[in-house]
Amino acid sequence: MHQAVTVPTAGVVRIAYRGLGNNASPSLVRVLHELRERVNVTDRTRTKRPDWRELSETELDDLIAQLTRSAGNLEAVQLRIRRRGCSSVEARNLVERLDSGT
């Protein structure tokens, strides 16, 4: 299940406003303005991931787990399809198992 807002670690709220499946409204600027009145809002960050084609198998597994924990299931599924040659159903099932902790 995709979520536009997650808490990947204590004290950090991740708001995914761009990308497939992120149809969030209101605008990010408005959300950050509203949040500033309630919490400490730091500068926006952008995650720059390494090229998946250059990752070792262990690094790829770590990236897939990280994506799954941070609600990047679609990206994790796409990585499994591209790098491991899984079917879309097989890749989705593996990611869903990872997401559920089984």
CA distance 27 to 78: 27
Phi and psi dihedrals of 23, rounded to 5? -100, 60
| pTM, to two decimals | 0.52
Task: Tell me if residue 86 falls in helix, strand or coil.
Answer: coil
pLDDT value of position 71? 62
Mean pLDDT of 19-30: 61
The pLDDT of residue 2 is above 60: no
Mean pLDDT of the chain: 76
H helix intervals, 1-102 = 28-36, 57-69, 73-84, 88-100
- Selection from 60, 62, 71 nearest residue 16 by Cα: 71
The pLDDT of residue 61 is above 80: yes
Domain interval for residue 82:
5-100
Confidence of residue 40 (pLDDT cuts 50, 70, 90): confident
The number of folded domains in the chain is 1
Cβ atoms of residues 65 and 100 within 8 Å: no
Confidence of residue 21 (pLDDT cuts 50, 70, 90): low
